Amino acid sequence: MASKSIHDILKRYWGFDGFRPLQEDIIHSVLEGNDTLGLMPTGGGKSITFQVPTMSMDGLSLVVTPIISLMKDQVDQLRARRIKATYLHAGLTMAEVRRVYEKCLYGNCKFLYVSPERLSSQSFLEHLRQMKVCLIVVDEAHCISQWGYDFRPSFLRIAQIRKLFPKVPVLALTATATPVVMTDIMHRLEFRQGKVFSMSFSRSNLSYVVRHTTEKVGELVHILKSVPGTGIVYVRSRKRTKLIADELRRNGIDADYYHAGLSIEEKEDKQEKWKGNQCRVIVATNAFGMGIDKPDVRVVIHVDTPNTLEEYYQEAGRAGRDGRRSYAVLLSSVTDKRTLHRHITDSFPDKDFIRSVYERVGNFLGVAVGEGFDKMYDFNFNLFCHTFKLPVLPTHSALKILTQAGYIEFVEEVEAQSRVMIQASKEQLYDIPAQTPGADRVLQALLRTYTGLFADYVFINEDVIAYNSGLDHDTIYASLLEYTRLHILHYIPRKRTPYIIYTVSRMEPKHLLFPKVVYADLRQRMEERVNAVLEYAFAQDSCREMLLLRYFGEEKAEACGHCDVCIDQRKRINHTPADVREGILYMVSLKPRRLGEFFDTLSFPRDEVSAMLSYLVDEGFVRHLPDDTYSQK
């Protein structure tokens, strides 16, 4: 395929005149039929590397991705560009799955996105065998490696797909992978002398900063008032997203919150307001950010220390995609050390506890010993923990370890938006014997509000129908269910639930084995990751960027010059203790000051300010008052 052709495709469908760094190299490698591994940092444009070559090839791309929300977003974006794309995941009905197969088998699709769990379905494999696949894409490819930070055993099934299409190249993409993980990815995907393309993990416009503080919210407010522009604040818990967003608003900062427990409509509304600069700061769990391309984020702040540097690098990398100076700030305290070490214990509970969780899952779902193989069960995780009085975090970890050991497949919460397809002809809609009062108004509102209802399933919002029809939700729900019973339409109400698949029939707990590779080795790897995070967070004399790059196997000859450590070192060289002394004395001559004011105002290392302040108090030049302020003697 000539270079001019891929540039024409890029311009026609995406409107870009040229490729970003590394994109064209990966595309050419794919078009030459090479197995290819692409490491591109967050915001580097990974999707272009398989979407453009697919448009120049005969057949469809099979895209395996673990993130359902990202899957939907990419399909929507492709359809908006008039490119035929669809997806399969566990939230679809059998009727929807059949329509997807029809589109792919009859050449009406260029991209088929699937969740890795789908690869265990024999029905899917039989249909896939009949499709004309030209490229196999593995997104978030680090998930296939047991040494990666988000290993998912279902990814291991991708290798068997290769046997169906032995001549089709594989493109594996990830934003974060250490050298060990890179090697493992290629081994697991059975690369045939594959090519590796890796962008530098260095971001010259991104300044990495660590602030040690026991008053994290106060420091957060200070930073957001000091750095103008859009921001993301990451925290660990859903509850804290709202609490911190409320606190920011009380301090005059326009903020909102986001987490996985929100409805689809709430998520989309908050995302759009933030992307459209109607909201300046979003406070979120790590559920926020995937697939959201906002180039002008000026600051990303982590209030809670992440568990891995992979996670931190990916989330921090959402700042400064436009190339302008931006900041990645980590707020840390001594309690974070205890929290991270406790996370190791919670992530690897005692093996007997794991066996007891397995037994209780079977009892909870009503699965007998010897039964359940290849069956999927809705699984209310919170109710399960409440029923058996189990601790949430160790129980969640036990389910993940059981998944890694191959006994079950525990899939996190999946939300499927309500959707409708009209099955009757247009003529039949004129004479419908519906009994529910107001049903005809519901149908009219549906037809006026949405297009394409006769051709495919269309996502709907019951709130919008309520507004357009003037009816309450109960009436709308009853009407749509009645029309479904009459075969006028097919209504699939929204559903949000995790689920469990038994990958082997239920066993007696005493027979469960946890090989070294899925327990001891992974625990050791987690300990190494935690130690790397602690080194990054608490290092006093090592360039932050150099620490990050070294972790990802990239050596850099010189310090970055713009992280907090580099700036502090430069200050040490360029000032004398007399400068610190005079700065403190001048500040207290104006009015009493709190300790934080000296740190925020004086451009000297904090330890030097603190040491000089203690000296001046001891020598009687400054008074330390009972209200914890410092004043002139």
Q: Where are the domains of the chain?
A: 3-198, 206-339+532-551, 349-416+497-518, 419-493, 575-632
Task: Tell me if residue 629 falls in helix, strand or coil.
Answer: strand
Beta-sheet pairing, 170-174 with 36-39: parallel
Q: What residues form DSSP beta bridges with 12?
A: none
613: tokens are 């302040």
6: tokens are 């891929």
Q: What is the pTM of this model?
A: 0.72
Neighbour-count burial of 247, counting CB atoms closer than 10 A to its CB (0-12 exposed, 13-18 middle, 19+ buried) = middle
Euclidean distance between CA atoms 242 and 160, whole angstroms: 44
Taking Cα atoms as reference points, which of 22, 23, 33 lies closest to residue 165? 33
Domain covering 349-416+497-518: architecture: Orthogonal Bundle (1.10)
Euclidean distance between CA atoms 187 and 159, whole angstroms: 10
- Which single residue is written with the structure tokens 């492709």? 78
Task: Tell me if residue 630 falls in helix, strand or coil.
Answer: strand
Element (H, E) at 267: helix 264-275
The residue type of 543 is C
Taking Cα atoms as reference points, which of 422, 393, 426, 405 lies closest to residue 355? 405
Element (H, E) at 286: none
Give the torsion sign (CA, 342, 348, 351, 352). positive
CATH number of 3-198: 3.40.50.300
Taking Cα atoms as reference points, which of 400, 203, 213, 395 lies closest to residue 302? 213
Taking Cα atoms as reference points, which of 230, 214, 218, 231 lies closest to residue 329? 231
Collect the ranges in the chain with pLDDT lower than 50. 1-3
pLDDT at 43: 64
Report yes or no: 524 and 544 within 8 Å, Cβ to Cβ.
no
pLDDT at 375: 84
For 114-127, b/e burial (b = at least 16 CB within 10 A) is: bbbbbbebeebeeb
Euclidean distance between CA atoms 612 and 617, whole angstroms: 9
pLDDT at 414: 62
What Å distances lie between residue 507 and 351, 360, 363, 590, CA to CA? 15, 12, 12, 75
pLDDT at 456: 79
- The domain defined by 206-339+532-551 folds into Rossmann fold (3.40.50)
pLDDT at 381: 92
Element (H, E) at 491: strand 489-492
pLDDT at 223: 92
265: tokens are 């409509």
Total Cβ atoms within 10 A of residue 198: 17
Euclidean distance between CA atoms 43 and 319, whole angstroms: 9
The residue type of 63 is V
CA 392 to chain centre: 21
For 571-593, b/e burial (b = at least 16 CB within 10 A) is: beeebeeebbeebbeebbeeeeb
Neighbour-count burial of 252, counting CB atoms closer than 10 A to its CB (0-12 exposed, 13-18 middle, 19+ buried) = exposed
Tell me yes or no: is domain 575-632 CATH 3.40.1360.10.
no
Instruction: Please list, in sequence order, all residues whose beta carbon lies within 8 angstroms of the beta carbon of residue 50, skipping any fewer than 6 positions away.
Output: 30, 61, 63, 135, 137, 171, 173
Phi and psi, residue 447, nearest 5°: -70, -35
Do domains 206-339+532-551 and 349-416+497-518 share one topology? The answer is no
Euclidean distance between CA atoms 144 and 184, whole angstroms: 8
Taking Cα atoms as reference points, which of 526, 537, 528, 456 lies closest to residue 492? 456
Helices and strands (DSSP H and E) totals, the chain: 25, 22
Euclidean distance between CA atoms 299 and 330, whole angstroms: 11
Euclidean distance between CA atoms 453 and 419, whole angstroms: 10
pLDDT at 2: 45
Element (H, E) at 104: helix 94-105
pLDDT at 248: 96
Euclidean distance between CA atoms 421 and 436, whole angstroms: 20
- Which single residue is written with the structure tokens 């027979």? 511
Q: Given its phi and psi angles, is residue 561 left (phi above 0), alpha (psi -120 to 50 degrees) or beta?
A: left
Secondary structure in 3-state letters for 554-574: CCCCCCCCCCHHHHHHHHHHH
Euclidean distance between CA atoms 141 and 12, whole angstroms: 29
Euclidean distance between CA atoms 264 and 416, whole angstroms: 8
- Which single residue is written with the structure tokens 């998912």? 152
Cite the DSSP H helix spans in 291-429: 309-316, 334-347, 351-365, 381-388, 392-404
Taking each helix axis from N to C end, the angle separating 23-31 and 48-55, rounded to the nearest 10 degrees, works out to 40
Taking Cα atoms as reference points, which of 553, 249, 260, 263 lies closest to residue 412? 260
pLDDT at 1: 43
CA 571-572-578 angle, 5° bins: 100
pLDDT at 569: 80
